[in-house]
Structure 1
């Protein structure tokens, strides 16, 4: 389970709508509790997916665009990891949007996902954020739905 506030959800949805029709992305900071992940902050980031980034991935992904792919700059991940550590927090997940598609992970999402992270996906239909779901990888590297609990 992942626990986050209405404000966190609103930040994710606002960022997703602002980048439509391209995918948005961002980093989720928080900490692990006994049975859940507690979100402290969501940080919208720039989607830096581009043809050069696509060349780093196997297969022919060079024709994909930011409408179907996202990437967070490695230097942003590293900087955020350092800042989180200084605040006694961890990166506990990533969020991104699926423009005009359901909030269900793609095969690319699965291939590049990291064990232990939560992946929040928001579906944006015609520019409006809608369905939002969280996913995490099981021991077989398959996504399983993760409950979202709204906290105050």
Structure 2
């Protein structure tokens, strides 16, 4: 389970709509407990997907660039991990959008995912953000739905 405020959900929707028709992406900070993950903060990031990034994935069909793929630059992830540690936070997940596609993970999303993270996906249809779903990898590296609980 991942817990977050309505404001966090709205921030994801706003970011996704502002970047449409490309995929947006961002990092989710928070705390881990036996009860799940609690979101404290979100940080929008630049979608760093590029033809150069695509060369790191030779088995992936490159279609429509940032309209169908996202990447967070490695140097951004490293800097953010250090900042999170200094603030006693953890990176607990990644969010991104699916322009004109459902809020379900793609095969590419699965191949690039890390087991400990939540992956929140927002569907953006014709520029309007809609459904948001969260997913986690199981022990077989397959996505399973994760419950989203809104904090009041």
2:9 matched to which residue of 1? 9
| Aligned ranges 1:1-152 → 2 under 5 Å | 1-152=1-152
Segment drifting more, 32-41 vs 101-110: 32-41
What SS does the corresponding residue of 2:66 show, helix, strand or coil? coil
| Contact 2:4–2:38 under 8 Å retained in 1 | yes
Deviation at 1:90, TM superposition (A): 0.6
Deviation at 1:60, TM superposition (A): 4.7
Structure 1 unmatched runs, 5+: none
TM, length-normalised to structure 2: 0.97
Structure 2 unmatched runs, 5+: none
Cα 1:126–1:120 change in 2 (3 A) is same
What SS does the corresponding residue of 2:29 show, helix, strand or coil? strand
Dislocated runs of 4+, deviation >4 Å: none
Q: Distance in 2 between matches of 1:131 and 1:10?
A: 11
TM, length-normalised to structure 1: 0.97
**CA offsets 1:101-125 (integer angstroms, 9 cap, x no match):** 0000000000010001000000000
Q: Distance in 2 between matches of 1:121 and 1:63?
A: 19
Deviation at 1:58, TM superposition (A): 2.5
Deviation at 1:63, TM superposition (A): 4.4
Q: Distance in 2 between matches of 1:46 and 1:98?
A: 15
| Contact 1:3–1:151 under 8 Å retained in 2 | yes
How many residues are treated as equivalent by the alignment? 152
Deviation at 1:61, TM superposition (A): 3.5
